[in-house]
Amino acid sequence: MYHFVGVGDFVIVDGIDDIVKTFGLGSCVALIIYCPVRKILGMSHIALPDSSIDPNKAMIKPGYFADTAFCQMMQEFVLRGCDKNNLQVQLYGGAQAVWDKDIFNIGSRNLAALEERLLCYGLGYNKTDTGGHYSRTVEVTAATGRVNLISHSLAQWRKNK
């Protein structure tokens, strides 16, 4: 069964037939956590690095911010009996935004916020495709944790808008 993750959402699945997919990762980052022992897969589509700019939104959509998305997902994995030492973490996205002059550097700030959280939890990440100037679509299967990555030129994406 397909599960689609929108901006600011996160999904955690445990069915071996489950597939989780998100679209349009420009400066946004897909945080993927996978427990191969229990076949539990989670994905969040993170838009901004820090929930302190809008705590009310963070309560409604914790997946929107790097800090709250990571914490919520880790809590879910622990509640489902996953040992943090078995978790595989992957990051995708974090591109320079569509604008020619990305003065806010949201993509790199999202990645830095996630890397900081991972360090605090003593976790690294196994595989990434981050940065650059292109958008990504990411699809992951719960049975294997295998990622299918599709890259899109941001210039092409701008043309199609």
pLDDT in tens, 83-111: 999 999 999 999 986 555 656 789 999 99
CATH classification of the domain holding 12: 3.30.1330.200
pLDDT in tens, 141-156: 999 999 999 887 655 5
Q: Is pTM, for the whole model, over 0.85?
A: yes
Give the domain range for residue 10: 2-160
Cα 143 vs. chain centroid, distance in angstroms?
19
Q: How many domains does the chain fold into? A: 1
Report whether pLDDT(158) > 80. no
- How far apart CA 81 and CA 38 sit, in angstroms, is 8
Q: At what angle do helices 66-79 and 106-120 cross, to 10 degrees?
A: 40
